[in-house]
Every structure is written in C-alpha cells, then in structure tokens.
Amino acid sequence: MNLSNRPEDFPGYFATILWVGVGVWLFWTTPQAAFVSWQAIVYFVLGTIGVGILFGIVGMTLQRLMPFLKPRQGPIRTAPPPAQLIGTLVAAAEFVVIYFLAKAVVTGILFQPAVT
C-alpha cells in the first residue's frame, strides 16, 4: 500500500468534510444549538476524529476487498469506469449516513428538546 500526504488518498477525508459541513448547517438551523458551547467542541473535535477513523477504516476495507477501486498506475492515474460508479454510490451513501448520524447526535444527544 502506497500512502501519500494528499488528503484525497485518505478514505475518511470525504466523510470528515461532510461531517463538518452538515454540522455547521445543523448548528445553524437548530434553535437550541450554539457554536460557542461545549457541545460544539464535542461535535466538531471528537465527532470529526471519530467519523474520520470510522469511515477511514470502512474505506480502507472497501479498497482492500475490491482491488479494482485502486487507480491504475502509469503517467495518468485514472480509475476504471466500474470503480467510478461504485465511488459515486459510496459517496452518496456516505452523505445520507453522515447526515442522519449528525442529526441524531445534534438533536438527540447534544441538544435534547426541553421536556415540559
């Protein structure tokens, strides 16, 4: 396995960007949420690390189980068409999973609605 320092080579990179983006949107639209709070630190620091590790492990496992997902070696590194299709489907699935996971964390765990 040849790892580089490029962020797109890390399988959890897309998931961490999504986690932060969805988190900003959820913190902006949730009435009880505040960007300057201990909940924001928990979400944006610990949550980002956790999601990066979790989706990084899943992404590395997918790359190892399906060797055709790796880019071809040569002067122009391109992925074969089936790998591009699978990559697009995985990215869409990551977006859906991360959105619902982030929404559950923000609205269900960090900022629970007041019980009257």
Dump pLDDT digits (tens) for 87-99.
788 889 999 999 9
What's the domain count of the chain? 1
Which secondary-structure segment (H or E) carries 8?
Answer: none
Dump pLDDT digits (tens) for 67-84.
766 666 667 666 667 777
Instruction: Give the domain extent around 34.
Output: 11-110
Torsions phi, psi for 112 (to 5 deg): -75, 140
Of 28, 8, 29, the residue nearest 91 (C-alpha): 8
116, part of any domain: no
pLDDT of residue 9: 64
3, part of any domain: no
6, part of any domain: no
Query: Is 0.85 topped by the overall pTM?
Result: no
